[in-house]
Structure 1
Amino acid sequence: MTSGPPEPYIGPRPFRRAESALFHGRPVEARRLKDMWLSERVVVLHGPAAVGKTSLLHAGVLPLLENEPHALVLPVGRLIHQPTWPLAHASGPGGYRFTLVSSWTPAGQTPDPGQPVGSALQSIVAATPRRRVLAAIDHLEELFTAFPARLAERERLVGELAEAMRDLPLNLLLVVRDDQLATLSGYEGLLGPQPFTYVRLEGLDRAAAVAAVTGPLSGSGRRYAAGVAEQLVDRLRTTSYTDRLGESVELVSERVSPFELQIACAALWTSLGSTDDTITAEQLARFGDLAGILAAYFDRTVHDVSVETGVAEAELRAWIETTFITERGTRGTAYRGLTQTGDMPNAVVDALVARHILTEEQRARSLWYQLGQERLVEAVRTANRAFHGPLVGGDRRERSPADFRAAAEAALGEGNFVSARRFADVAADRFLEAGDDRQFANLLTFKAEVARVEGDLESAKETLTAARSQFESQQDTLATVRVLTALAEVCLSMGRPDEAVDLGRQAVSRMPGDVASRTVLAHALWRAGSPADAEATYNDALDLDRDAPRALYGRGRVRISLRNYRGALADLDRALSLGLPRAEEDQARQSRQEALTALNPPRET
């Protein structure tokens, strides 16, 4: 990796809301979709895979609605978690509903898996003035493709959405792939008397693609030489076709895939030297062919992460393929534990997220990971075959402890707590039988997370305490600190800030350089009624990492209580620009508005 300017291209994943400044080429589509969502009861945004539907919603439309006075915009909803191993398919009847409602539920509240969608929405919007409620469901095709046999559950969810639309001033935005559009259209009459409004998103035309290439460089200190961005776009529009007689023909499309554009631009950017300030035609000419870019990008990333984390490259490749690609050739998901994600240290996952191979998403108050795009499935397999031949073991006849752990994680993602606990118990027993004390301790932290999401905080605390004892006996300082930090967070949820302060101080004393534990300690001090001490502790955390978004967010909220509104605004703006988990992003925006109002109070009439 070069030490030049920060990378302006996000690579193979959707844009986040905080990255709207890097999102170019779609201003007309964003304004049109915003206006339709505000005025129509059901809007369907559709298009082919990887055309940028999710990016348009998060980085294009949501920023335009940030200060909309007549609407309450809920966080973007999702419907399902696809399990890493297809073992927990027979889950309870509320899987779709639970994941959707947990997406919309504010932080600090636990969704009820048995509560209908309409009742859950009534609870969510009860504390706000009566306004139009804007709710989006992204990747709606999951309703039809993830578990196609769950017809009754699907019909029930559609019925509950229809009832919510009758009882609430609710406008739905449904985001779906083209290949499932006909299936969705079959439900048009069930969701309400008014017909759907359909908006199709296509690839970028030439002018929009040039804007998407050049726009992110604003402020980077680099630029494209005259005509070079246009040359790059024309290369992305051009493909070669060889017919049965061996004749090769170049085909030029009117549109450019945003996914391929981001991959190409990110690869070109990476190839530049740290002192290059102009991207020239000569540099573009040395640029590789588009077909191999994604596999080459994966190869470079695996090598860099191996060097950075000390995990062998072959082990990394095998783990990525078996964990994040299912037996059916689709993207799988993995749950983030306190120290590990699917048998791999969390530092590895963080490195892969930073390089856009994996993307993270918060569901059921937990973090989950999957490959950044569908097309990475084939790229990973192609690169791995070239490295060491095809992986063996896709058809496993005996279920290992890891299989049951993955099934437990998938069940948690669907809100099926009974299955999550049952699979976790089996996995824990098998790890104990195998003499793997470390994985047994990790299973305890997972079971504590299940209890925490359910709202059984006493059980969560008890199980985390047992996990702490296990990690201490193994002399694993990092895992012990993570458990102490989790215990502090549970105590805060239980309304015991003094106990949380004590646990936070224990964690910091064991690992003074750990930003996460200092951040939780600072929050506990604030909740315990010591805002000045909290600010000082947040300062310590930010001295260790000035770009820690959660510490900036926390200090911003503390500074509001200390009436340092300008300092709070600076912290909250920076935290939002760096990116926060969904629930904290929403709270940060609310806190930001509170600071702005304090600085500019409304005039009395």
Structure 2
Amino acid sequence: MSVDQNTIPAMAAGTTVNADNPWPGLLAFRESDQGYFQGRQSETEELLRLVLRERLTVLFGLSGLGKSSLLQAGLFPELRQENIFPVYIRLDFSSKRPDLVAQILTAITREAAAHQIEAPPPTNGETLWEFFHRDANNFWNARNRPVMPLLVFDQFEEIFTLGCLDAQRSTATNALIEQLSDLAECRPPARLKAWLDEHPEEAKAFDFGRHYYEILLGIREDFLPDLETLRPRMPTVALHRMRLRRMNGEAALLAVNHAHHLIDPDVAEQVVRFVAADTREHPLAQLEIEPALLSVVCRELNNHRRKLAEPKITAGLLQGNQELVLADFYERSTADLPPEVRLFIEDHLLTVSGYRDNAALENALNIPGVTQPSIDALVERRLVRREDRGGSQRLELTHDLLVGVVRASRDGRRQREVAEKERFAMLQVQEEEKQTLLKAREEQRLELERVQAHERQERDRRDLRRLRIAIVGFVVLTLAAVLTATWAIIAQRQAKTARDDAIYSQKIAQQEKTVSEQALQSARDNAAKFAASLQVLSSVSNKDVQTAVDSQSASTLLPRVFIQIVNQDDRAYANQIRDRLIAGGVLVLGIQYVPVAAGLTKTDVRYYRRADEPEAQKIVDLLKSAGAAPIAPKYLPGYEDSTKVRQNHFEVWLANGSGSK
């Protein structure tokens, strides 16, 4: 599994090292990087002597000791001086039916063209033994001198892992092992012998006494038991071996100090002791250093130097960034992996008290979210070491230097989990209080509606009473009008009768007439009044009182913020920030002191869900208005579906010394 180039930016395949960046980090040195490869001179000479003397050589060592770098940048240039043609081979098992022999022949052709070697063309279907033993097959360099091909198999342990994934790959792997065994043991293939028995005239095409080739196998030390299984077919695989060990401090100092234009000797020694975790000033020769970790630290320090535009890596730069170097390395090494992988590292590769521990690979793979590709990535990035102990593969951190960084990450995560539980409990209390308030408001609304309904009933009763009184009055007036009208009519009739009989008195008759006319007019007036009363009564109607009770929706919970400080001197400034946030309508749950991030140089507002980005920007703007600068929002991935970090949760991390700026 290849290392994610986006996760570790320094690992660009085309630019391993140069004068301004002479350490490759986790990549291997190439042959063209020979001038930058230092500290392994004695190992290079020992391996060269073994290769020159033996037909089959095995180089083995633990992961992270630089076997690939030793082969390419150390051994290959020396071999060419001895007229040996090294062919670098990394078998590819990605195809379900890999033709491994064809890959080897293709590698020979490719390397020959790259180094101006005249090589014989391969023939379809022939074995490796046939290719190297044909009488006409010779290799010549540009100076017209014969050269001996050396097949260099890097990471040969993959034939026992990737080469055995399924039946097809196992078949291809067994075929390759059979052909390599014939080469190593100078043994003509059985198929060829049978064919030559039938065609003896073809035997002259082969030189059975010449074995002008060599083989070198590079393999991890924990796969030596698997290599031993090849002894029945390849006995010489157990004879000529070289074990690559960790660098001592003196060799490591050469690996760092060769870039004297970038680092002074005293600082280089500090780097070596830092990687060796030497706190007692032991002699350099007694220290043990893993080259991969040394290269990572040097590259990280150099990257930091380049960002600061400093001419050299200084002691102050190292002193101020020892934790940050490894913290950045840890963050980038786990950034593209599932969150469960990081939890496995922090909870299973450290003891409760914070010391390095180990775990069985089998148990790790039973943890949901932890997969074999993830473990392979951790091993390849040199964050985790995989070793065979008592027949069981164990996983552990590559170095004690990583313990502090991993422990700080674990402790910070657990503090956040505790804080989140407390916030969740607080939110539950707030939710209960809100529901209680809403219930009280609902009861008030219902009580108000009841009172208003009672008032409406009272008004209706009063209006009905007034209506009844009006009706009674109307009836009385009507009766009065009717009686008056009736009396007037009777009076008219009597007057008429009186005229017919009358000679009684003109004056009395005229008076009676006048009285009658006045009575009639009075009746008409009463009728008009009655009609007016009816009109007034018709305009009287019940009026309903409408009440509007605004129902207030549950208010959106306020943004919840924790303020993190890395320096106790910044607490007063943090209190000012807290007051400003509260005044801006933000819920501040507390101020926490986190000394592990003492190198923090920029204030940021961290949020855990993409949906919270607008609110995070509002908090940034609020802090900027309070004079906090520089500041920016920072998204932390891996928590989108987390049940431990709730939505609308933010953390304000104040840069070291914010209070004094």
TM-score by length of 1: 0.43
Greater Rg over alpha carbons, structure = 2
In the superposition, the TM-score normalised over structure 2's length comes to 0.40
